[in-house]
């Protein structure tokens, strides 16, 4: 089992600091997520039904009806490689570790291209190219035109482009989801999640946009009622709340800029709207330094990367600022 952010209980035990004292910046999840209302009792008492409006709301939000709801995009990450013929896959890294592990477990040959441009992945001449946009953990973005050109090049040789867009909601204009699995890009597969931007990691809802054949295979593999009824209800309401979405995008961009400026004295940074990644050879030492001050970050050992999510309130911002001011390498 790979290690992930958000393991606050484990950190509290390891460092002997009460859990309520911690500032958890390890996940990249919007700390001011969509406000979940009370749900009707029937949502808890009945089995999930596919005609509850979730698919329609998702098609409207993402601009594409070629979708399948998932119990978190992790379900597709783990299952998709086993649905595709075994071959070589070029993966732009460092990347969210669940991706390469899943492809290797399914018997594919992994070519992890560290700090390589998209053009290098295409030159690898593999049937599959896999990446995150923006990348997790480096925050490196890929341009939409470049990705569309890559999908076309791969299609010409019978290949596939798989893009994980878990952190792209703050900039929907950069997303490939509207095209994935359609006649315009049948070899394009896009994964989306409600966990990050909407701050709803606990409901475990995501989507895959892909061809009808892949969606059908994945649905059969997952079985009936893959997404719980309450989760479907919350996801539908969140996807329909355009007013909250627009306000959240504006707020996240401002908070990200603040975080990026705060971290700048520690070294080179790259930012998304939901997290900022610091590149430094002192990443391990900084991780420990912050942890002893009850601030949990995400160190991508052995990479020289330390990822910071957004503080939830002004007290958190001040706690982080004080810790940064106390750092003397």
Together in a domain, 21 and 118: no
Instruction: Tell me if 99 sits within 8 A of 91, measured CB to CB.
Output: yes
pLDDT of residue 115: 92
- What is the rounded distance in angstroms from the CA atom of residue 21 to the CA atom of residue 29? 19
| Domain containing residue 138: CATH number | 3.40.640.10
Of 205, 240, 275, the residue that ends a domain is 240
Residue 3 lies in a domain: no
| CB contact set of 164 (below 8 Å; sequence gap of 6+) | 73, 77, 96, 99, 130, 131, 132, 133, 136, 190, 191
pLDDT of residue 241: 98
- Mean per-residue pLDDT, 308-328: 97
Together in a domain, 216 and 298: no
Residue 280 lies in a domain: yes
Percent over 90 (pLDDT), the chain: 95
Together in a domain, 140 and 262: no
- Check residues 51 and 272 and name the one with the higher pLDDT: 272
pLDDT tens readout for residues 95-105 = 999 999 999 99
pLDDT of residue 6: 61
| CB contact set of 42 (below 8 Å; sequence gap of 6+) | none
Residue 316 lies in a domain: yes
**Angle formed at CA 209 by CA 158 and CA 59, multiple of 5 degrees:** 145
Q: Comparing C-alpha atoms, which of 56, 106, 118, 53 is closest to residue 76?
A: 106
Together in a domain, 180 and 236: yes
Residue 108 lies in a domain: yes
Quick one: pLDDT band at residue 5, thresholds 50, 70, 90?
low
Residue 204 lies in a domain: yes
Together in a domain, 173 and 305: no
Of 216, 240, 264, the residue that ends a domain is 240
User: In the predicted model, is pLDDT for residue 7 greater than 90?
Assistant: no
User: In the predicted model, is pLDDT for residue 61 greater than 70?
Assistant: yes
Together in a domain, 81 and 228: yes
Together in a domain, 154 and 250: no
Together in a domain, 290 and 216: no
Residue 2 lies in a domain: no
What is residue 196's DSSP assignment? S
Together in a domain, 212 and 251: no
Residue 211 lies in a domain: yes
Domain that holds residue 261: 8-34+244-326
- Mean per-residue pLDDT, 111-117: 94
- Mean per-residue pLDDT, 157-167: 97
pTM of the model as a whole: 0.96
Together in a domain, 22 and 69: no
What average pLDDT is seen over the chain?
96
Residue 1 lies in a domain: no
Domain total of the chain: 2
| Domain containing residue 284: CATH number | 3.90.1150.10
- Mean per-residue pLDDT, 290-312: 96
- Mean per-residue pLDDT, 189-215: 98
Together in a domain, 188 and 260: no
Helix-, strand-, coil-residue percentages of the chain, each rounded to 5: 40, 15, 40
Together in a domain, 291 and 316: yes
Of 219, 240, 261, the residue that ends a domain is 240
């Amino acid at each position: 089992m790979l290690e992930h952010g958000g393991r606050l209980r484990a950190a509290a035990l390891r460092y002997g600091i009460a859990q309520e004292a911690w500032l958890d910046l390890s996940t990249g999840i919007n700390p001011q997520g969509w406000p979940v209302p009370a749900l009707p009792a029937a949502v808890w008492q009945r089995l999930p039904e596919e005609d509850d409006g979730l698919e329609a709301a998702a098609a409207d939000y993402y601009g594409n009806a070629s979708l399948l709801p998932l119990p978190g995009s992790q379900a597709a990450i783990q299952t998709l490689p086993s649905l595709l013929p075994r071959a070589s896959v070029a993966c732009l890294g460092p990347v969210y570790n669940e991706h390469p592990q899943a492809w290797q477990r399914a018997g594919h040959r992994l070519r992890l291209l560290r700090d390589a441009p998209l053009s290098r992945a295409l030159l690898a001449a593999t049937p599959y190219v896999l990446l995150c946009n923006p990348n997790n953990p480096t925050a490196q973005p890929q341009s939409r035109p470049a990705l569309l050109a890559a999908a076309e090049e791969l299609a010409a040789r019978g290949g596939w482009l798989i893009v994980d867009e878990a952190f792209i909601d703050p900039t929907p204009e950069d997303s490939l989801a509207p095209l994935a699995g359609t006649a315009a890009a049948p070899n394009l597969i896009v994964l989306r999640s409600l966990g990050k931007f909407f701050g709803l990691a606990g409901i475990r809802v995501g989507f895959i946009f892909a061809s009808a054949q892949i969606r059908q295979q994945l649905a059969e593999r997952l079985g009936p009622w893959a997404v719980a009824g309450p989760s479907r209800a919350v996801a539908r309401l969140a996807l329909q709340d355009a007013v909250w979405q627009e306000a959240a995008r504006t707020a996240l961009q401002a908070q990200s800029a603040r975080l990026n400026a705060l971290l700048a004295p520690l070294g080179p940074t790259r930012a998304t709207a939901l997290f900022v990644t610091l590149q430094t050879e002192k990443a391990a030492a900084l991780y420990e330094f912050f942890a002893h001050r009850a601030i949990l970050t995400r160190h991508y050992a052995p990479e020289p990367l330390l990822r910071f999510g957004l503080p939830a309130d002004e007290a958190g911002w001040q706690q982080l600022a004080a810790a940064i001011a106390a750092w003397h390498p």
